[in-house]
């Protein structure tokens, strides 16, 4: 490294690393994995990813554990999910084994960028697939580029694991009913930028979207899934518009392990009056506790955290998942892959 990295003060942003890995789909088949030191991609001006949004991506992390080993969390789940995203917008799915091979190779090549244990930082892994065929007709590409970059990132919570306030704004939808909400396509995130910036300007950390059809049920929470604890039960919205979060899936399993009942179902806005804890969950933060939910259309304020602290169940779930990722707690479900 050109200069010593201040691991404890990393931002959640991009930092150059040594290598990325790439694989091309041409002539009906995936090629060999290529290692590159370039931070650029050479694209034809008529590539389908530029014109028709044939672009999908994933996000996962590698951690240096208490024992010094490097662990990648649930990479098979990310491999399966990006395959579903590919199928959803008629891209060529990358085989799970090739995905796994690429992830382990890029982490191994950039192992010196995996932050040390105890720093609170991790190595963020960003796989993406692009349609690269040159065409101007609206149809799927015949050629694709799959690449994976990595970058060390700091902890999501710069001020500690504390509740933040979120808001409901009915004028915005993240996705359309029966649209692309359950796939991780770049267009979903572009569609959320205006609402997200509006929320930030008003002092909120995220928008809690409602279902785009009836505006009656809770949907996603910005780029994360929403969860709540109600009368000791873990509840999370059921919707075809929600990205199936691997973090949420993991937390649901941990909740069941702890003897906590889990319900994936429709949750009405009015039900927010009855919840005891809430969080936005995803790869970046694991669980971001919610202190208050303000409905900006009705003026209703739902106070989730009465004392300004995260709830006990959300805290326990967060600490357990983090402990598994860092090798502090036994990985009984086999979620972590150790990089040899």
Distances (CA, A) of 146 to 56, 57, 83, 93: 10, 9, 12, 10
Identified catalytic residue from 87, 105, 184, 230: 184
Q: State both tokens at 220.
A: 């996603």
Distances (CA, A) of 93 to 18, 144, 146: 27, 10, 10
Q: State both tokens at 156.
A: 């999501």
Contact assessment for residue 337 and residue 99, using Cβ atoms and an 8 Å cutoff: no
Calculate Rg over the CA atoms of the chain. Answer: 20
184 is a catalytic site residue:
yes
Which residues are annotated as catalytic?
A: 184
């Amino acid at each position: 490294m050109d200069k010593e990295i201040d691991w404890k003060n990393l931002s959640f942003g991009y930092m150059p690393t040594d290598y990325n890995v790439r694989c091309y789909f041409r002539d009906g088949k995936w090629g060999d994995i290529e290692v590159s030191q370039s931070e650029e991609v050479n694209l034809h001006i008529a590539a389908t990813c530029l014109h028709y949004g044939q672009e999908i991506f994933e996000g996962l992390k590698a951690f240096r554990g208490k024992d010094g080993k490097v662990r990648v969390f649930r990479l098979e789940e990310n491999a399966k999910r990006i395959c579903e995203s590919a199928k959803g917008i008629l891209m060529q799915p990358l085989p799970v084994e090739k995905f796994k091979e690429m992830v382990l190779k890029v982490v191994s090549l950039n192992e010196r960028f995996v932050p040390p244990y105890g720093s609170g930082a991790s190595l963020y892994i960003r796989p993406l697939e692009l349609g690269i065929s040159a065409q101007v007709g609206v149809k799927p590409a015949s050629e694709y580029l799959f690449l994976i970059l990595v970058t060390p990132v700091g902890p999501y919570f710069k001020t500690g694991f504390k509740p933040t306030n979120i808001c409901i704004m009915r004028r915005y939808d993240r996705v359309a009913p029966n649209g692309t909400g359950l796939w991780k396509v770049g267009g979903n995130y572009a569609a959320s930028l205006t609402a997200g910036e509006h929320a930030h300007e008003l002092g909120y950390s995220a928008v809690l979207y409602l279902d785009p059809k009836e505006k009656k049920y809770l949907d996603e929470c910005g780029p994360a899934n929403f969860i709540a604890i109600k009368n000791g039960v873990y509840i999370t919205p059921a919707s075809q518009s929600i990205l199936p979060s691997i973090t949420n899936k993991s937390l649901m399993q941990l909740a069941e392990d702890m003897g906590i009942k889990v319900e994936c179902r429709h949750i009405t806005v009015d039900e927010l009056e009855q919840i005891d804890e809430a969080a936005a969950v995803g790869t970046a933060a694991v669980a971001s506790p919610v202190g208050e939910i303000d409905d900006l259309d009705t003026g209703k304020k739902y106070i989730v955290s009465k004392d300004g602290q995260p709830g006990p169940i959300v805290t326990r779930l967060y600490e357990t998942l983090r402990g598994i990722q860092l090798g502090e707690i036994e990985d009984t479900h086999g979620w972590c892959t150790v990089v040899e």
